[in-house]
Amino acid sequence: MATCEIPAVPEVHPALRRRFSPVRFDPDAIVTAAQLDTLLQAAGNAPSAGNSQPWSFIVGRRGDEVHDRIVQYLARSSTAWAPGASLLVVNLAHVRVEDTDNWEYSEFARYDLGQAVAHMTIQGLVLGLDAHQFRAFDRDAVAAEFDVPGHWEVTSMTAFGVAAHAPGEIASPGTSRERAEIDEITWARAGGS
Ligand SMILES: Cc1cc2nc3c(=O)[nH]c(=O)nc-3n(C[C@H](O)[C@H](O)[C@H](O)COP(=O)(O)O)c2cc1C
């Protein structure tokens, strides 16, 4: 049973309101092993179709050996900011059944991975960590580097750390922070209070 207090005037949670994808991180900020465990627990607690849990993560903390192995496959655009983050997390989806002729593991594998990543990033906000998800890296090369088997897909990456700038202060090239209005993202809805 949910036990959160419901505010009289509903509003988006402050952590979600201030969330943004930084393009410069504090180069001295560290994510502790305990914080990392908490991020992974939050991801692992996400719901998934049939409780299939089709996710796995490659985790590099800045300065460690896994981090060094990930960084070499960043695209030029993400090399400008991602290595300075405290943590790089590669997000993997379990897309096929092992040793089969392309049988789908779950039709919701990427949906569920995205949800686990969302849980991880929101947990990060609670811990004071900002996050920038991205795909600007060589996914095949990362898969080869870490011997990821063919029934798993290297899908995306998340940089976690402490933002070193305010939202909107530095524009991320090729990206936008503009949002559609809620009536534009609502397919159908009855009126009333
Ligand atoms: C799956 C995914 C891939 C993304 N890829 C990139 C990327 O390659 N480079 C980048 O700078 N940002 C990337 N982003 C971040 C988005 O551009 C960003 O979330 C969007 O512009 C909205 O900005 P905001 O997160 O600050 O609100 C990606 C986000 C997601 C969820």
Structural domain spans, the chain:
20-161
Looking at residues 73-93, what average pLDDT do you find?
Answer: 98
Beta partners for 93?
Answer: 55, 153
What whole-number distance in Å separates Cα of residue 57 and Cα of residue 90? 5
Nearest atom in ligand 1 to 173's CA: 11
Closest by alpha carbon to 109, among 41, 171, 181, 49?
49
Q: Give tens-digit pLDDT for 132-156.
A: 999 999 999 999 999 999 999 999 9
Question: Which residues, in sequence order, are CB contacts of 119 under 8 Å at separation 6+?
Answer: 42, 43, 45, 46
Q: What pLDDT digit, counting tens, does each position of 31-65 carry?
A: 999 999 999 999 999 999 999 999 999 999 999 99
The CA 6 to ligand 1 mean position distance, Å, reads 30
- Architecture in CATH of 20-161: 3-Layer(aba) Sandwich (3.40)
Q: Where are the beta strands (DSSP E) in 7-148?
A: 55-61, 87-94, 130-134
Closest residue by Cα to atom 1, ligand 1, is 134
Q: How many angstroms is it from 34 CA to the middle of ligand 1?
A: 27
Residue 130 has a pLDDT of: 98
pLDDT grade for 174, boundaries at 50, 70 and 90? confident
Q: Which residues line ligand 1 (CB under 6 A)?
A: 20-21, 78, 133-136, 156, 172, 175-177
